Amino acid sequence: MVTTVSKKIRGRIVKILMKKCSKCDAPKTIDQFYKVKGNSDGYDNYCKVHRVEATSAYHARNKDKQRGWSAKNREKNKAFHEEHGKPPKTHPKKRICPKCRQPRLREEFRVNRTRSSGRDSWCVYCYAPIMRLRARRWYRADINRQYVNQIRDPLRRQKVKANPHLHNISIEQGRIREARYKLRQKGL
């Protein structure tokens, strides 16, 4: 059973989880016990030191039993590992595109290092229209940026040159906003 103990460490009160080892009956911190899901408190009944001792003693007593089981089931184990072994590390030469459902060569998929296969899920033929749309969006954004830099900003500058009072009004509005912001910060 896990208990909580409060200790004062460096001027602070810290709660430490403690448990009693079933072998030595000494209370120890919870980090000195292995985790066991089956137990009600989630930790082993023996501390780590005594669990290692108990396990090694069991293996020393039952060497023949373990060797006998391994020898008896060697063929069965071999067949299981051949059937359920790890998949080969080489990727298949052909894949099926989930969008067009066509089997395609691995090289017909774009390189994508974030995926486990190293390639995109869609083939280049299915991906092409999407890339065209993205390119158009980027082109439009670039044209918009050019408009802002070349046309709109110079027009503003011309308006300010023609009407200097517009510039003064915008400066005054900025000062008023700044004053309001400072008052809000002070809580007034």
**pLDDT tens digits along 5-24:** 666 767 777 777 888 888 88
Which segments of the chain does DSSP mark as H helices, in order? 48-61, 63-72, 74-84, 124-147, 153-162, 164-186
CB atoms within 10 A of CB 167: 14
Cα 67 from chain centroid?
Answer: 42
In contact, 18 and 27? CB cutoff 8 Å: yes
Question: Quick check: helix, strand or coil at residue 42?
Answer: coil
pLDDT one-digit tens code per residue, 87-134: 445 566 788 888 888 888 888 888 888 887 788 888 888 888 888 777
**12, 69, 188, 133: which is closest to 141 by C-alpha?**
133
Q: How would you label 39-49 residue by residue, b for 16+ Cβ within 10 Å and e otherwise?
A: eeeebbbbbee
Q: Is the pLDDT of residue 157 over 90?
A: no
Whole-number pLDDT of residue 160? 59
Cα 148 from chain centroid?
Answer: 40
In contact, 3 and 30? CB cutoff 8 Å: no
Whole-number pLDDT of residue 116? 78
Residue recorded with tokens 């009600």 = 40
